Amino acid sequence: MRVTHRTAYLYAEKVSRSYTYTHLYPLEDDYQSRLTCSIETDPPANYRQISRDYFGNTCEYFGLDQEHTRFRITVESEVQNHTPSADPLRSLAWQDACGLTGPADSGHAELTEFYLPTDMIQWDTSMAAWAREFSQGQNNLYALAESFSLWVYQNFQYKPGSTHVRTTAMQAWRKKKGVCQDYANVVLAMLRSLGIACRYVSGYIENQVAAGAVKLTGSDATHAWVSVYAPGCGWRDLDPTNGKWRTAEYISIACGRDYQDTAPTRGIVFGGGSSKMQVDVNVSRI
């Protein structure tokens, strides 16, 4: 798979300095191998530094200490997909995936951090009771995760603009509408309310498809989905926005507890007045 991801920040007035922190390098995990990745900025950054964050994601920091009215980031990546099966989750009772401890396989995070609430992913007693009752008919972890994902897919309305980047899982649960981030947050809250370790994943979906083929929802920008942990198997991903388990169309760039751990770009500027961000993503098969 090949990805071109362009981000542009446009400022109404001159910015004297800007500092940008990014998650734009494709992950290397059971689902994919990163073949190449190059990132260029315009204007060129005065300094930049690559590191790995607490969750094992590759990050890059850019500092620009000169006046500018725009800042563009262009990423070119190539990835080899592997797409492991989620079938091993069928033989695991979901109760055996609750309350796990130990390392989370990447970075320094512990599994316990992935079933605790965060500022964005919380649940109240009514939501927890609903999840507990809904889980009673599910015999294994595969069925439970899939049933939560399909319920959100079938009962929520995908409506850009109805929520914002700081909308919480509880707010989205009440609205029953939103975008990929909201769909993922609600499923994460359901699973975590039962003590199941699960993480938020950001990335892309293939959007350069053959004539007549239908593009998946959320493919024209960065996307978000859910990853569930199964002992002896590792992390397996599913996408509530499209009601399916992860397939070869997906590329992940970061994972964490919620969006705040995985935002593709964030930072601070000095000056600039009003601003506008433009994003363009193209994902195609090599």
* Helices (H), ranges, 118-168: 125-135, 141-155
Beta bridge partners of 11: 275
> What average pLDDT does this structure show over 119-142?
96
Question: Cβ(198)–Cβ(214) under 8 Å?
Answer: no
- Tens of pLDDT, residues 20-57: 999 999 999 999 999 999 999 999 999 999 999 999 99
Question: Cβ(180)–Cβ(203) under 8 Å?
Answer: no
How many other CB atoms are found less than 10 A from the CB of residue 54?
A: 12
Mean pLDDT of the chain: 95
pLDDT category of residue 137 using cuts at 50, 70 and 90: confident
Query: Rounded distance, CA 38 to CA 7, Å?
Result: 14
> What average pLDDT does this structure show over 133-157?
96
Query: Which structural domains are found in the chain, ordered by start?
Result: 2-81+263-284 (2.60.40.2250), 87-261 (3.10.620.30)
End-to-end CA distance of the chain: 5
Report pTM.
Answer: 0.95
pLDDT category of residue 225 using cuts at 50, 70 and 90: very high
- Tens of pLDDT, residues 202-217: 999 999 887 778 889 9
**What pLDDT was estimated at residue 83?**
86
For residue 12, the number of C-alpha atoms closer than 13 Å in the C-beta half-sphere is 4
Helix (H, G, I), strand (E, B) or coil at 258: coil
- Tens of pLDDT, residues 176-186: 999 999 999 99
Which has the higher per-residue pLDDT, 140 or 105?
140
pLDDT category of residue 272 using cuts at 50, 70 and 90: confident
